[in-house]
Amino acid sequence: MAQLTGLSQAFLSMLESGERRLTNIDKIIEFLAGLGTPAELVLLPLPRKSAPQPDVDSPTRSLAN
């Protein structure tokens, strides 16, 4: 969870136990984005994941294969 969210394991443990609260908007955004929360479900400025762009330098594949 710490690797996904960018928050320390100790901080996440304190969140789980109720010792700390997630009040910093930047940390909230980082937490939700790290969990892969769709931006459409959250009323915060989460980064939107764009569709992968085709690699214009690679040769195109034949659709007949």
Token couple for 12: 């996440």
Domain-embedded: residue 56: no
Token couple for 58: 């690679």
Say yes or no to pLDDT of 59 above 60.
no
Model confidence pTM above 0.85: no
Domain that holds residue 27: 2-41
Per-residue pLDDT, 47: 61
Give the model confidence (pLDDT) of 19-41 as tens digits: 998 888 888 888 888 888 887 77
Residue found by looking up tokens 């294969």 in the block: 65
Using CA atoms, how far residue 19 sits from 10, 12, 15, in Å, is 11, 10, 6
Q: Radius of gyration over alpha carbons of the chain, in Å? A: 18
Q: How many domains does the chain have?
A: 1
User: Span 42-62, mean pLDDT?
Assistant: 55
